[in-house]
Structures are given as C-alpha cells and as structure tokens.
Amino acid sequence: MALVTFPTIKAPSTLSFGIRGMAQSFVSEFTGSSQYVRLPGSRWYGAVGWNNLDGEDFEKLKAFMVQLEGPHNTFEYGDVSRDTPKSGLASTVVLECVTGAQHSTQLTFRKDATSSTISGTISAFKAGDYFEITSAKGNELKIVTADATVANSGNSTLNFAPALRGAVTSGQNITHISPRGIMRLTDNEQTNWDVAPPVLGNVGFSFQEAF
C-alpha cells in the first residue's frame, strides 16, 4: 500500500463530504427502551466530480486514479471548500498540541514559540473549520465544533469531532491550512471517466477515510 500524491488541478465541480458514525443500539424486548453506545471508528467519506476537464488537468487526474489500483493505495483529500479557516488565522501562525488523549474530542493547544507573533487574543478556529493532526494512529482529520481563540502565550482548548483514534504527542503541529485526511477509493469500480468531443472529460469517484 502506497500514498499517491493528488495532482494539482482545478477545483472540483461537485463535492459531497461527511462522516459516518459507529454507534450501536440495543432495544429491550420487554420494555421497548433503547440504549446507544458510541464506538471508536467514525470515518470520513465523500464523492467528488469534475465536469468538462480538458488538457493537462484531465490527463493528470486519469494517471492519478490508475495509480490508486482501486482501494489498495491511498491519497490525501478532504473538504476542499474549506481549505482556508473562517477564523482568518494566517498560515504564518504555527499551532502545536499540548495534550491530546486517545478517544478524546478535546485537546489543549498553543502557538508555537518560533512562529509569527500574535497581538492580544485572536480567533484560531471557528466552528466548522477543519484541522489535521498526527496521532499515535497516524494522520487524522477533524472538524471544529466550537470557536477557539489563541494568544501569544498560554494554552487554549479545542473541541472537535470525531474523537482522536490515538494519543497526540506534545509539540505535534496542528495543520489549519488545507487540512487533509488519508483516503482510499470505496471499491474497485471507481476508476473510469467519460469523454466528449473534442476531448472533454467528466471524472468522478467516491472515497472513504483509510485507517
């Protein structure tokens, strides 16, 4: 299994993106009451498509898809409509984790001491922003569930979903610009494209998080 680099091409025409939970239920045969248990293993999934691709973009995307060999190899992708956080936090501001426990939906973070200076307290994340972080279980993509701020010094709290699959080492960077998760095609039937005259390609595929 290899990580295939996603090509630099124009933005997709359509994107569907979401998360599939791992909750199990039990319904009592006697009372009819139900209980639900959240299990670890929620994963991102989506579908993406490009209409009327031509020239180099079309050829790059075809070559990329063939290299994936169905769901065997992986690639980095995410909600590309939110590559820039709504908080407006500059790319020059580096954030790092202080504490992040396995199965937690909250971590403590701070500004890296070597990155750009912040004046006062500013917005770090808005609810709906994404971030990427590496845990003991590998690359993880998260969505922020509550606004968070950051100052030049001191710790801040970040709430997110889904829960961390693994613990995060102190000092691990938090990627807030163009965050990505590790994805794979959903099955072996995704590698195909339609061609219309003169040479315009319509390409789309479904994917899910790989872990």
Q: Are 133 and 70 in contact (CB under 8 A)?
A: no
pLDDT at res. 34? 85
DSSP element (H, E) containing 160: strand 156-161
Low-confidence ranges of the chain (pLDDT < 70): none
pLDDT digits over 113-140, tens only?
Answer: 888 888 889 999 999 999 999 999 999 9
At CA 185, angle to CA 86 and CA 49, rounded to 5? 55
Can you give the pLDDT at residue 43? 93
pLDDT given for residue 24 in this prediction: 77
pLDDT of residue 118: 87
Q: Are 131 and 176 in contact (CB under 8 A)?
A: yes
HSE-CB for 38 with a 13 A CA cutoff: 10
Q: Looking at residue 36, what is its pLDDT?
A: 79
Q: Which two tokens stand for residue 160?
A: 């997110």
Cα torsion for 177, 38, 183, 14, to the nearest 10°?
-70
Predicted confidence at residue 35, as pLDDT, reads 83
In terms of Cβ atoms closer than 10 Å to its own Cβ (0-12, 13-18, 19+), residue 137 is: middle
The SS3 assignment for 72 reads coil
pLDDT of residue 119: 87
- What's this model's pTM, rounded to 2 decimal places? 0.88
Closest among 174, 146, 177 to 159, alpha carbons compared: 146
